[in-house]
Amino acid sequence: MHLPKQTSDIFELMNKGQFICSNSTDDKLRKLYTVIDENFDDLYDYFIAINFILEKGDEYFMFTRKENKTDLERKLEAAFKWIDILDFFKTFDNSFGSGYRFSPSDILVKLSVDADLKIKLEGLKKYTPGKEKHADIIDKILDILEKDNFIDLENEISTSYKALASFNYMEQLILSINIPETVVNEIPE
């Protein structure tokens, strides 16, 4: 097994739940993406031996692990948050996805004319305790997305962001949710 010299860097990033995306604005992360892509089989074998599963998505890499019940409940709570956040951004612009560029001011402008978007932003308050103003809620949500490596701040002066390839993971996760028709009929409105 030949392991690249960046193996520890890869582990340090992905062990924290981070994605490594091909379209990151960070040169180091783009290079790590290439290193993983070129050494995927060796890295997969190495990480599986220490109970981390190296997963390849659509232009991103991540770790998964077998979960106990407590971890699964925590992940379900996180999934609900991501569903709400994804719903908000898809309402903002249905084409929102990997590579999409935007700024908080773009969202604020659309909020002023889109009542549905405003309602969905109000629903995100539960993830931004203590934030009441729309701009503050948006900043907190963008902070969450940036920390979880779904977006990058591309330009600090214009505060423009770019959605990373890992955003596809969130979309695919939500699209994979299948609620049988019998269960749908049992959900109260």
pLDDT in tens, 52-81: 999 999 999 999 887 777 777 887 888 889
Distance from C-alpha of 160 to C-alpha of 80, rounded to nearest angstrom: 26
Query: Nearest Cα to 139, choosing from 108, 162, 109?
Result: 108
Give the pTM.
0.77
For residue 74, the model assigns a pLDDT of 81
Model confidence at 153, pLDDT cuts 50, 70, 90, reads: very high
Q: Is-contact 101 161, C-beta < 8 A?
A: yes
Mean residue pLDDT across the chain: 90
Q: How confident is the model at residue 183 (pLDDT cuts 50, 70, 90)?
A: low
Q: Is pLDDT above 90 for 48?
A: yes
pLDDT, residue 118, reads 96
> What pLDDT was estimated at residue 150?
93
Could you tell me the pLDDT band of residue 25, with boundaries at 50, 70 and 90? very high
At residue 16 the predicted structure's pLDDT band, cuts being 50, 70 and 90, is: confident
Structure-token pair, residue 74: 């925590």
Spell out a b/e string for 50-73, using b for 16 or more CB atoms within 10 Å of the CB, else e: eebebeeeebbbbbeeeeeeeeee
Q: pLDDT band for 24, please (50, 70, 90 cuts).
A: very high
Q: Residues 165, 21: contact at Cβ < 8 Å?
A: yes
> 105 pLDDT band (50/70/90 cuts)?
very high
Which pLDDT does position 45 carry in this prediction? 95
Rg, C-alpha atoms of the chain: 18
Task: Say what the pLDDT of residue 187 is.
Answer: 54
Q: What is the pLDDT of residue 30?
A: 95
Mean pLDDT, residues 118-132 taken together: 94
